[in-house]
Chains A and B, each alone.
Chain A
Amino acid sequence: MSDITDLSFSELKKALQNKTLSSTETTAAFLDRIESLNPELNAFITITRDEAMQSAKKADTAISDGTATAYTGLPIAHKDLFCTDGVLTTCGSRILSNFVAPYDAHVVSRCKAAGLVSLGKLNMDEFAMGSSNENSYFGPVRNPWDTSRVPGGSSGGSAAAVAANLTPLATATDTGGSIRQPAAFTGTSGLKPTYGRVSRFGMIAYASSLDQGGLIAHTAEDLAHGLGLIAGHDSRDSTSAVQPVPDYTELLNDSLKDKVIGLPRQFFDDRLDTSMHNAMDTVLDVLKSLGATTVDISLDHVAEAIPAYYVIAPAEASSNLSRFDGVRFGARADKPTDLLDLYERSRSEGFGSEVKRRILIGTYALSEGYYDAYYKKAQQIRRLIRDDFNRALASCDLIFGPTTPSTAFIIGEKTSDPVSMYLEDIYTVATNMAGLPGGSFQGPLVSGLPTGYQLTGPNFGESIILNAAHRVQTATDWHRLIPEGL
């Protein structure tokens, strides 16, 4: 048998059910690997060995007592944006570097209730603002495929940890591409569910009308199991959808024969790197060989999604981040002279430069006299983008495209030019503006580095996305490739 840590979430589930593995030995194997590789990768901010081993022991008791759920004893790790009761929750920021959350996020409590064992908290761009994980107060995460490269962001720790087999499943969040882009850069599978599918209760807010919690794992099947655990209505989040949660594993093996895949011409123009274009054609050939047909579509306003996003997201962020004031929680500046000094210094010492830029852009866009030109204009474009998707999805089941314009870039390459970093998300941002579900899954390697293809589906159509990705994973081995030397 291969090493325990080589197994996927679904494979571990079977092994625990057959009692070929215990939760204690599984948990210990992942913790040992984290402790040996994390100094190099920096994927974890906090490793909760003692708590994890205690939950694993309880899980083994539940399994032998017959009181276990189908998921009891399986490992998971949480992005450090999800509040965890009694465990440090930093959101990648200096201002929360001492914040021990007093309650669990909805996603975390659902995982605990199912008996999952949390290994720790994962590194991320500060307040989920970034596409490279270089904006973390706790230092950059390194890509396991090439440690001189970024893992993507903002869920860079989640993606790197799964890619390096430090955890078989990780929670993550996606506001403009923060699950899909790092999944593409690290050769993992990532799913951003429909807006409202997963409760945002206990997720530290960045841009509330765009933020959505989801998962990163090795396969679509793993994501189907994980989504079933965390999806569903929660009265503590007023934007949580009242929609039944299907068994996401049920349709995984459906035939693709009657499926129509839309190809937006704007995703395949000259902005796309040639080698990435070829990789996408290879994936499309697999989808066609499985019976899917394709149709050309147009998303006319997709190019304006990034400009509109950089108004809406910073505007919402400037409001959400006003709660960090050095009074109720988080770091406070030393010896403030008066209240204004307390606010201004606590915030300027506590936030990194990308967070400051977005707070300033958002404050400016919402300030008197500029609202119509920026915020209202961006919301009007948001409607045009949503209408484009609705029209397109009337003629196809899924929309296919690259997740990113190229493979993972070198650490430091884009840090001096914020705008070049923002353009990393050109293929992912529109999905968030429309609220639709989107996934990124492994394509073929290009020059030894992973690529990702993106599938976007209709509202609450996560099953259709996971079905197509699972069929591709059944016919290919791109998702089984692992970084050399780890």
Chain B
Amino acid sequence: MSLTSDHVKRVAKLARLGLTDAETAEILAQLNSILNLVDQMQQIDTKNVMPLAHPLELKQTLRADAVTEMDQREKFQNTAPQVNAGLYLVPRVVE
């Protein structure tokens, strides 16, 4: 199936990507050609094939429930665009 510009706008909203109308039109054509490539998968019969999520099929490893991280808040917040008193600042969301 092929996408419409409404699909692209909806998916862009879900992905929190702002797109201009010109960008949406350009991306629409590109996404459709990518989905065309992806649709070659449908030629393969995969009935009764278990999905493979991970090449090694490892067991989840567990560690002791103990504090292992040092507090490095100041160092990590040095890379943030806007902080105050140890908090990350964003535009007001509650009036």
A318 to B12, CA, bound (A): 11
CB distance from A412 to the nearest CB of B (A): 17
Is A246 among interface residues, defined by CB-CB distance under 8 A?
no
Is A381 touching B44 in the complex (CB atoms < 8 A)? yes
CB distance from A271 to the nearest CB of B (A): 14
Binary CB contact string for chain B from 43 to 85 against chain A (1 if under 8 A, 0 otherwise) = 1101001111111101011010000000010011011111000
CB distance from B3 to the nearest CB of A (A): 8
Is A311 touching B75 in the complex (CB atoms < 8 A)? no
Is A269 among interface residues, defined by CB-CB distance under 8 A?
no
Enumerate chain A residues within 8 angstroms of B43, measured Cβ to Cβ: 304
Enumerate chain B residues within 8 angstroms of A344, measured Cβ to Cβ: 16-18
Q: How many residues of B contact A (CB 8 A)?
A: 51
Enumerate chain A residues within 8 angstroms of B91, measured Cβ to Cβ: 336-339, 341-342
A209 to B56, CA, bound (A): 9
Enumerate chain A residues within 8 angstroms of B16, measured Cβ to Cβ: 322, 325, 340, 343-344, 347
Residues from 304 to 318 in A contacting B, C-beta threshold 8 Å: 304, 306-308, 310-311, 318
A381 to B47, CA, bound (A): 11
Is B4 among interface residues, defined by CB-CB distance under 8 A?
no
The B interface, classified by DSSP as helix, strand, loop or mixed, is: loop
A227 to B22, CA, bound (A): 47
CB distance from B39 to the nearest CB of A (A): 7
Interchain pairs with CB closer than 8 A, number: 167
A374 to B16, CA, bound (A): 21
Closest to B3 in A: A364
A338 to B53, CA, bound (A): 37
Enumerate chain B residues within 8 angstroms of A326, measured Cβ to Cβ: 81
Binary CB contact string for chain B from 4 to 44 against chain A (1 if under 8 A, 0 otherwise) = 00011001101111110000000100110111111111111
CB distance from B38 to the nearest CB of A (A): 5
Enumerate chain A residues within 8 angstroms of B63, measured Cβ to Cβ: 235
Enumerate chain B residues within 8 angstroms of A435, measured Cβ to Cβ: 55-56
Closest to A377 in B: B41
Is B38 touching A310 in the complex (CB atoms < 8 A)? yes
CB distance from B43 to the nearest CB of A (A): 8
Is B60 touching A238 in the complex (CB atoms < 8 A)? yes
Is A356 touching B46 in the complex (CB atoms < 8 A)? no
How many A residues are at the interface, by size bracket?
A: 35 or more
Closest to A321 in B: B15
Enumerate chain B residues within 8 angstroms of A363, measured Cβ to Cβ: 11, 14-15
A419 to B37, CA, bound (A): 8
Is A347 touching B17 in the complex (CB atoms < 8 A)? yes
Is A386 among interface residues, defined by CB-CB distance under 8 A?
yes
Contacts A196-B58, A239-B56 known; A332 to B81 CB distance under 8 Å?
Answer: yes
A273 to B38, CA, bound (A): 24
Residues from 89 to 137 in A contacting B, C-beta threshold 8 Å: 99-102
Enumerate chain B residues within 8 angstroms of A339, measured Cβ to Cβ: 90-91, 93
A306 to B44, CA, bound (A): 13
A322 to B34, CA, bound (A): 22
A297 to B27, CA, bound (A): 40
Residues from 2 to 25 in A contacting B, C-beta threshold 8 Å: none
Closest to B35 in A: A361
Residues from 148 to 202 in A contacting B, C-beta threshold 8 Å: 195-196
A343 to B27, CA, bound (A): 20
Further 17 A-B residue pairs, CB within 8 A, beyond A328-B80, A353-B27, A363-B14: A239-B54, A239-B58, A307-B37, A310-B38, A318-B15, A339-B93, A344-B17, A351-B17, A357-B27, A359-B17, A360-B27, A364-B31, A376-B51, A377-B41, A379-B52, A417-B33, A418-B34
**Top 4 closest pairs, chain A to chain B, by CB:** A435-B55, A379-B51, A344-B18, A383-B52
Interface pairs (6), CB distance under 8 Å: A241-B56, A337-B91, A347-B16, A357-B27, A364-B11, A417-B33
